[in-house]
Structure 1
């Protein structure tokens, strides 16, 4: 019996492998973000932000050292190999959190700079994709308020700003899908450095409209909320409505839930698009005291619905004139009618959009006994 147990033990030790040991992990460095830029000859310049694990000698703990390596080449793969010449450690991409393109690289075109992440078995398709508007050397230097590692900070930042309806979010996975949609468009997150703070910090500010893998226009942060409503990505956030008694004052609504249903119908060479936006919200702030009545509550609800209609209609008309289908209307049409439609690829030029909002204000409460 002892011999049998010994044989089983030896077999398990051979075929069962554990995770990284400290000997292994000290020979590996992990990429947390990748920054793509181009030089004067439009060749890729890549910055790798790397986490190097260091085991503390005095106690069983891990500390991390931030390292930035730079590589150049005719292709992204050659530039990454150039980085390897400066590293004595094995570079691992499984923990990469962000792929960042400079505005200059995005305008030149990123088609040649993301295929490597799609094909590499080590790379994952969950990283966020961003366009950075600013000095790339300053970004690579790091040392921002709140986090040592840019990639980890961006990961947490985007998760936190999901409660902001104006923040545009994008990932490699989504981009790979939308770049082959009928419109060939997507809107990437824009990253900037806020120098107005006591210490410089990274902020998300608007979106970068990509068409055929090239940056064609910037989406202002003021249009982010309407865009997010139209593409159905808002779950939480806030809305501001003018006070029906005093237009200089505002009432704040907290968005508890939101769902946008899209219906497309082909009528000859015209595409009729209906967006039914259902929002559940609650009142969180009055700038001016209100003894809330049912009539005033109805006015607030209608004001919120009117704001949705105006904002969504304005942004649709703006990008319709620019022939930029950032709302995935072409994809909706293809899903319903197939790829053989008479209007070809210029779907948004033939589209008319109707916004049908329904705002439900839940449990507003009454304060009629409040004494000023």
Structure 2
């Protein structure tokens, strides 16, 4: 029995043994963000933001510094290898948070790079993917006071509850799954440097439409908000309406919850895309006094909000129907419900049917606004 315990202890000591010095951690170089671009010769230009750890001899403590690496290669794999040739130790991508494709790289086709991002063992499938409109050198050299590391800042930004309600941000595994479903059209958020900001800052503004991995069109921020609202991936968080009794004034409703049920039916060479949308909203602001205890006023506001939502969604749908871009995943829904029916461009014969139900919550608890 004692011999068995000794053997078990020796095995545990062997398996659980770790670093007994700082040699390994002192050499570590961790990537936090990757920016992928292409040059005029279609070669890959890779920018990496890294955290380089080292042990300070002055105060005998561990510290680190932010470094930027850049390299070029015929493929992404070669660009990574060339980048490692200038590093004191091999760059580790296990902690990489975001992968950013420039507009030029997206138009060239991100599927040129996706195999390496999926195949490499260090690059995790949970990384976020974004597009970027602008100069990648300017982006990688930004000094953001909220967070020293660009990759960590963008990682927190896309996980921000407010941002996630406006844009659907892909992770690598989601893109890999979706590219084989339906018509291979994706809508991906675009990162931009804020020009009007007093300090260096970035935001997600609009989205890029990708067909078979190539960006074919840009979607403006307002359209991107409507798209995410229609797809149930996010909601237009605010609804601004004209004041029900005072001309020239506005009221603002905040969406607390949104539930969307989507379905398709195919009959006589016609497809109907039906969306049942239920909003729960509360009053956010009124530019002039309003009697919230008057049921007629509340009914008028609800009706106006429902009609405005129908109008915006219908106009948006018709806009992309004319372009022949099935960003609404009609083909995917159709193939699931009618697996034996094959229609090349289903959006061309699709009509949108909207059922919008808006409910104002807590109106009886809101005090009437008074203005002298």
Scaled by the length of structure 1, the TM-score of the pair is 0.92
Q: Deviations over 1:21-68 (max 9, x none)?
A: 743222221111111111111111111111122345677865431111
Q: Distance in 2 between matches of 1:204 and 1:256?
A: 22
- Kindly indicate whether the alpha-carbon contact (under 8 Å) linking 1:167 and 1:225 is maintained by their aligned counterparts in 2: yes
Q: What is the Cα-based RMSD across aligned positions, in Å?
A: 2.4
Relative to structure 1, the CA distance from residue 360 to residue 13 in structure 2 (aligned partners, 3 Å threshold; closer, same or farther) is same
Partner of 1:117: helix, strand, or coil? helix
Q: How far off its partner does 1:3 sit?
A: 6.0
Q: CA deviation at 1:142?
A: 2.5
Alignment match, 2:119: 119
Q: CA deviation at 1:371?
A: 7.7
Which 10-residue stretch deviates more, 16-25 or 250-259?
Answer: 16-25
Query: Which deviates more, 26-35 or 138-147?
Result: 138-147
Q: Tell me the alpha carbon deviations over residues 183-210 of structure 1, each in whole angstroms, 9 at most, x when there is no partner.
A: 2111111011112222121111110111
For the 8 Å contact 1:226–1:308, the answer to whether it is kept is no
Alignment-derived partner of residue 355 in structure 2: 356
Question: How many angstroms apart in 1 are the aligned matches of 2:85 and 2:155?
Answer: 28
In the alignment, what sits opposite 1:254? 254
Sort the Cα spacing of 1:41 and 1:248 in 2 relative to 1 into closer, same or farther, 3 A.
same
Any conservation in 1 of the 2:289–2:368 contact (CA below 8 Å)?
A: no
CA distance in structure 1 between the partners assigned to 2:43 and 2:20 by the alignment: 36
Unpaired runs of 5+ residues, structure 1, are none
Report the equivalent of 1:204: 204
Assess, with a 3 A threshold, how the Cα gap between structure 1 residues 324 and 64 changes in structure 2: closer, same or farther.
Answer: farther
Alpha-carbon contact 1:168-1:206 (below 8 Å) kept: no
Relative distance call for 1:287 and 1:5 in structure 2 (3 A) is same
Q: Higher mean Cα deviation, 311-320 or 15-24?
A: 15-24
Sort the Cα spacing of 1:94 and 1:277 in 2 relative to 1 into closer, same or farther, 3 A: same
Residue 329 in structure 1 maps to residue 341 in structure 2 = no
Structure 2 residue aligned with 1:275: 275
Structure 2 equivalent of residue 100 of structure 1: 100
Give the superposition deviation at 1:19: 8.4
Shift of 1:347: 1.5
Aligned length: 370
Tell me if structure 1 keeps the 8 A contact 2:226–2:316: yes
**Structure 1 stretch 67-76 or stretch 168-177: which is displaced more?**
168-177
Which region of structure 1 is more displaced relative to structure 2, 228-237 or 104-113? 228-237
Q: Where does residue 300 of structure 2 map in the other structure?
A: 299
Shift in CA distance, 28/359, structure 1 to aligned 2, threshold 3 Å = same
- Sort the Cα spacing of 1:195 and 1:371 in 2 relative to 1 into closer, same or farther, 3 A: closer
Indicate if the aligned counterparts of 1:36 and 1:46 stay in contact, CA closer than 8 A: yes
